[in-house]
Chain A
Amino acid sequence: MSRWRYFLKRVALSVPVLFSVMTFLFIMLRLGPLSPVAARLGQNASGADVTRLREQLGLNDPLWQQYIDYVRDLMLFQGESWVVRAGQPIPEAIASVVPVTLWLGLWAIMLPLFIGIPLGFYAGLRPNTAGDYVASVSGILWLSMPNFWLAVMALAILRQADSGLFNWYTLGPNTQSIIGNPDFGFLTTTQLLGVIPVPTSFDVMAFATDIKLILPAALILGSASMAAELRIGRTAVLETVNSNYVEMAKAKGLKGRTIVWKHIFRNALVPLIPIITNEAFILIGGSVIIEYVFNLNGIGRLYFDALVQGDLPLAGSLVFLFTLVIIFLNIVQDLLYTIIDPRVSYQQ
Chain B
Amino acid sequence: MSDQLNDGKSGSTRRKMLSLIGGGAAASLAGCSAFLGDDDGNGNGNGNGNGNGNGNGNGNGNGDGTPTDDGYDGPSLDPTVHADKAQEAWETIQSNPDPDAQDVRNEAYVEIEEAVRDSAVMMNFMHTVGERFWYDYVDVPKYGALGPSFQQHNNTELTNDDTELNLINSTHAHIDPIESDDEASSTVITQLYEPIVNYPNGVPELNNKLIEGFELSDDQLTYTFNLKQGVQFHDGTEMTAQDVKYSWRRVVESPNSVRANFMLNSPDGVGAVHETDDEGNVVPDSLAVTVVDDYTLELEVRNPNPAVMDVLTYTAFSVIPEGLVGDVEGYEGDVSHGEFRREMARGTGPFQFDMFSLEDEFRATRFDDYHDDVADVEAVHYNIIEDTEAIFTYVIEENADIFGIPTQYYDPDKVDAEEDDRGRLVGTYGPLENDKTVNYLRVSELGVYYFAFNTRNVPIEVRQAFMYALNQQEFIDQVFAGRGVPAYSFTPPGIWPTGLDGYEQFVEEYPYSANETDLESAREVLEMGGYSEDEPFELTCTTYQSPAYQEAAGILRDKLAGSGISMELEEAQFGTLIQRGYDGDLEMYSLGWSWSWESVAYGHFGFEPKNTDTSGMPGENNGYYLDWQTELSENYSEE
Contact = CB atoms under 8 A, between A and B. Distances in A.
Given A42-B27, A87-B174, A292-B390, A47 B619 contact: yes
Given A40-B26, A41-B258, A47-B622, A294 B390 contact: yes
Contact of A49 (B13, B23, B261, B396): B261
Interface stretch (B89-97, B203-211, B572-580): B572-580
Contact of B358 (A36, A43, A96, A176): A96
B4 A42 contact: yes
A338 interface: no
Interface size class of A (residues with CB under 8 A): 35 or more
B394 A87 contact: no
A32 B352 CA distance: 42
B362 to A, nearest CB: 13
A39 B434 contact: no
Given A52-B255, A85-B358, A161-B434, A46 B265 contact: yes
B161 interface: no
B32 interface: yes
A293 B394 CA distance: 11
Interface in A42-56: 42-53, 56
A34 B575 contact: yes
A313 to B, nearest CB: 14
Interface in B584-639: 591, 593, 616-622
Interface string A38-79: 111111111111111100100000000000000000000000
A309 B573 contact: yes
A97 to B, nearest CB: 8
Contacts of B360: 96, 181, 297
A48 B260 contact: yes
B407 to A, nearest CB: 15
A140 interface: no
A162 B435 contact: yes
A87 B176 CA distance: 12
B566 interface: no
B393 A177 contact: yes
Nearest to B624: A43
Interface stretch (A151-159, A234-242, A254-262): A151-159
Contact of B173 (A85, A96, A159, A177): A85
B181 interface: yes
Nearest to B572: A33
B493 interface: no
Given A96-B358, A179-B394, A42 B622 contact: no
Contact of A34 (B181, B573, B591): B573
Given A44-B32, A86-B173, A159-B397, A39 B575 contact: yes
A118 interface: no
Nearest to B31: A44
A309 B389 contact: no
A6 to B, nearest CB: 42
B4 to A, nearest CB: 7
B397 A45 contact: no
B604 to A, nearest CB: 13
Contacts of A312: none
Residue of B32, B182, B397, B581 contacting most chain A CB atoms (<10 Å): B397
B28 A43 contact: yes
A198 to B, nearest CB: 25
A53 to B, nearest CB: 8
Contact of A155 (B182, B255, B390): B390
Contacts of A190: none
Interface in B556-582: 572-582
Contacts of B1: 44
Contacts of A297: 357, 359-360
Contacts, number: 194
Contacts of B260: 46, 48-49
Interface stretch (B116-124, B292-300, B379-387, B523-531): B379-387
Contact of B575 (A38, A44, A88): A38
Interface string A133-160: 0000000000000000001100100011
Contact of B393 (A37, A155, A162): A155
Interface in B1-18: 1-2, 4, 10, 12-13, 15
A38 B15 contact: no
B25 interface: yes
Contacts of A96: 357-358, 360
B142 interface: no
A310 interface: yes
A46 B261 contact: yes
B34 interface: yes
Interface string A172-192: 000011111100000000000
Contacts of A88: 173, 338, 342, 358
A150 to B, nearest CB: 12
Contacts of B258: 40-41, 45, 49, 53
A270 interface: no
Residue in B260, B393, B622 with the greatest tally of chain A CB atoms within 10 Å = B393
A43 B27 contact: yes
A309 B265 contact: no
A34 B618 CA distance: 15
B495 interface: no
A233 B389 CA distance: 35
Nearest to A86: B173
A178 B393 contact: yes
B582 to A, nearest CB: 7
A47 B614 CA distance: 12
Contacts of B222: none
Given A34-B576, A39-B26, A42-B30, 14 more contacts: A34-B579, A45-B28, A47-B619, A52-B255, A56-B255, A87-B173, A87-B174, A159-B433, A169-B397, A177-B393, A178-B393, A181-B360, A294-B390, A309-B13
Q: Which 3 A-B pairs have the closest CB atoms?
A: A39-B575, A43-B32, A42-B28
30 contacts: A34-B576, A35-B575, A38-B575, A38-B576, A39-B12, A39-B25, A40-B258, A40-B575, A42-B26, A42-B28, A43-B33, A44-B181, A46-B618, A47-B618, A47-B620, A47-B622, A52-B255, A85-B359, A86-B173, A87-B341, A96-B357, A179-B385, A292-B387, A295-B383, A295-B385, A297-B360, A301-B359, A305-B10, A309-B12, A310-B576
